[in-house]
């Protein structure tokens, strides 16, 4: 476990590494040629956006006009009001405009260059600065899906801290990151206080959230064995909450999910075969469940890239079916559900695929979009700044060719423009 002194040193090291990654980026890290991705011009006199169709996070407005000043939305109206002198007008009348999306579960620092003859899990050892510089490609691919904010739930060496800080200072182009650093992982014999101290150390080191691994299950393995007791989880949650930080708990199995909810987890990641009692407790507490259905479909689709035999596919498909059924039941029970891709390596670029599964689970497209906007923003403590297109909110917007409110699939291939913090960061028009 981290000691407190080590955590402080780690944080100092993070600052040094931040300078290193800044140097990498200044030396010429560039966006891929397949799309124009980067920070666009700053509009000093304001922006006026003309949207053919606008979904503001709760309702649809046709023929809408959005005005932006100093990075914030100042007005939303139907029709074509007069443009202020000097304002820059962006014509999106051919598109549906929605709020910038939030991916609640990524591993942004898991980078693979996708070169023939290499494997995602066989990457060479790299420094945190090298990892952060290379993983800028994952950040760009994420932006191209319309995701402007991501909660990153697991990285090593402080690389996620580097990416977060580089993005926040404008030295790297990517979604704003809320990061957890390294996850807390222990056997059943670890004293609860030891794990509580581990949570405190994560916060000291610079984590925004605390990530906990309470079961097995990862990559091609869908093993559901619980590896952390209720008392251990509760100690971690209480320690993090005492410092004003939230907790996400990983559990592939039902018993771990049940204990995580009872322990006070703010969100629970993964899970199958959840029962009515667990759903009722989730609803009572306001726990957000992030099922991550699509990440196992990604492993099915990419298993050859990983060098896995075909016999990994049936267990993955079985888990997907059970995961989807639990999502259907959770939605019916009124549980808050959030979109999380659990993207790693070549999974970046399909960050919003989870929304297709949510529609299969019984959600209307607008309800699925809420899992990546209003519900997600509330979980992150940003419900008054992100997840809506409304006066006072941060200017994060996505223009989609087609109507994802009628057919969610339009979002998967139709993202044409992404604006983050009032700047154009993706332009495929």
Domain ranges for the chain: 37-100+389-427, 101-379
* CA dist., res. 361 & res. 133, Å (int): 38
Burial (CB count <10 Å: 0-12, 13-18, 19+), residue 5: exposed
Torsion of Cα atoms, 329 then 331 then 335 then 336, to 10°: 140
Among the residue ranges 2-11, 71-80, 187-196, 282-291, the one predicted with the least confidence is 2-11
Give the residue-averaged pLDDT of 237-251.
Answer: 99
Give the three-state DSSP class for 220. Answer: coil
Q: Judge contact between 73 and 119, C-beta under 8 A.
A: no
* CA dist., res. 202 & res. 184, Å (int): 9
Give the pLDDT confidence score for residue 384 in this predicted structure: 98
Among the residue ranges 11-20, 141-150, 242-251, the one predicted with the least confidence is 11-20
Confidence of residue 86 (pLDDT cuts 50, 70, 90): confident
Give the pLDDT confidence score for residue 39 in this predicted structure: 59
Sign, CA torsion 73/78/83/89? positive
Class at the top of the CATH hierarchy for domain 101-379:
alpha beta
Q: Quick check: pTM over 0.95?
A: no
DSSP assignment of 17-55:
HHHHHHHHHHTT----TTSEES-----TT-EEEEEEEEE
**Nearest CA to 352 among 100, 167, 111, 55?**
100
Confidence of residue 36 (pLDDT cuts 50, 70, 90): low
Give the pLDDT confidence score for residue 231 in this predicted structure: 96
What does the pLDDT look like over 309-360, one tens digit per residue? 999 999 999 999 999 999 999 999 999 999 999 999 999 999 999 999 999 9
11 has pLDDT over 50 = no
Report how far apart the first and last C-alpha atoms of the chain are (Å, whole number). 49
41 has pLDDT over 70 = no
Give the pLDDT confidence score for residue 42 in this predicted structure: 54
Give the residue-averaged pLDDT of 112-130.
Answer: 93
Q: What is the CATH number of domain 37-100+389-427?
A: 2.30.40.10
Confidence of residue 80 (pLDDT cuts 50, 70, 90): confident
Among the residue ranges 6-10, 192-196, 266-270, 321-325, the one predicted with the least confidence is 6-10
* CA dist., res. 124 & res. 119, Å (int): 10
The percent of the chain in helix, strand and coil, each rounded to the nearest 5, is 35, 25, 40
Burial (CB count <10 Å: 0-12, 13-18, 19+), residue 315: middle
**Nearest CA to 292 among 269, 273, 310, 311?**
269
33 has pLDDT over 50 = no
List, in sequence order, every residue forming a beta bridge with 68; answer none if it has no partner. 47, 73
DSSP state of 394: B
Give the pLDDT confidence score for residue 34 in this predicted structure: 31
5 has pLDDT over 50 = no
What's the mean pLDDT when you consider all of the chain?
A: 92
For residue 376, give every residue at least 6 positions away whose Cβ sits within 8 Å of its Cβ, in sequence order, or none. Answer: 102, 104, 149, 338, 339, 387
Give the pLDDT confidence score for residue 189 in this predicted structure: 80
């Amino acid at each position: 476990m981290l000691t407190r002194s080590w955590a402080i040193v780690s944080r100092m090291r993070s600052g040094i590494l931040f300078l290193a990654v800044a140097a990498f980026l200044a030396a010429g890290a560039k966006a891929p040629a397949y799309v124009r991705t980067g920070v666009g011009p700053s509009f000093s006199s304001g922006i006026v956006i003309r949207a053919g169709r606008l979904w503001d996070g709760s309702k649809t407005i046709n023929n809408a006009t959005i005005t932006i000043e100093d990075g914030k939305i100042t007005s939303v109206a139907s029709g074509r009001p007069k443009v202020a002198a000097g304002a820059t007008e962006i014509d999106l009348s051919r598109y549906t405009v929605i709020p910038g999306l939030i991916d609640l579960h990524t591993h942004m620092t898991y980078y693979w260059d996708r070169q023939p003859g290499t494997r995602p899990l066989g990457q060479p050892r790299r420094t945190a600065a090298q990892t952060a510089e290379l993983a800028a490609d994952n950040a760009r691919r994420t932006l191209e899906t319309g995701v402007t904010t991501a909660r990153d739930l697991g990285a090593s060496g402080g690389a996620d801290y580097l990416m977060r800080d580089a993005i926040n200072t404008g030295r790297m182009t990517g979604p704003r990151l809320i990061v957890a650093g390294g996850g807390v992982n222990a056997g059943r014999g670890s004293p609860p206080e030891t794990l509580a101290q581990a949570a405190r150390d994560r916060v000291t080191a610079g984590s925004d959230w605390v990530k906990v691994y309470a079961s097995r299950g990862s990559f091609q393995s869908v093993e559901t064995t619980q590896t952390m007791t209720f008392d251990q989880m509760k100690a971690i949650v209480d320690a993090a909450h005492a410092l004003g930080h939230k907790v996400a708990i990983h559990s592939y199995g039902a018993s771990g999910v049940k204990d995580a909810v009872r322990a006070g987890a703010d969100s629970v990641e993964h899970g199958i075969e959840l029962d009515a009692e667990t759903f009722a407790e989730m609803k009572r507490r306001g726990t957000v469940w992030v099922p991550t259905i699509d990440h196992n479909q990604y492993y099915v689709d990419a298993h050859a890239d990983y060098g896995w035999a075909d016999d990994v596919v049936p267990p993955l498909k079985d888990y997907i079916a059970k995961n989807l059924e639990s999502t259907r039941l959770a939605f019916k029970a009124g549980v808050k559900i959030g979109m999380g891709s659990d993207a790693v390596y070549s999974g970046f670029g399909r960050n919003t695929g989870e929304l297709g599964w949510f529609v299969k689970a019984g959600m209307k497209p607008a309800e699925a979009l809420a899992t990546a906007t209003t519900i997600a923003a509330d979980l992150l403590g940003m419900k008054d700044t992100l997840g809506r297109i409304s006066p006072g909110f941060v200017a994060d917007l996505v223009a989609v060719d087609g109507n994802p409110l009628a057919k969610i699939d339009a979002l998967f291939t139709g993202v044409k423009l992404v604006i983050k913090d009032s700047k154009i960061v993706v332009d495929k028009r």
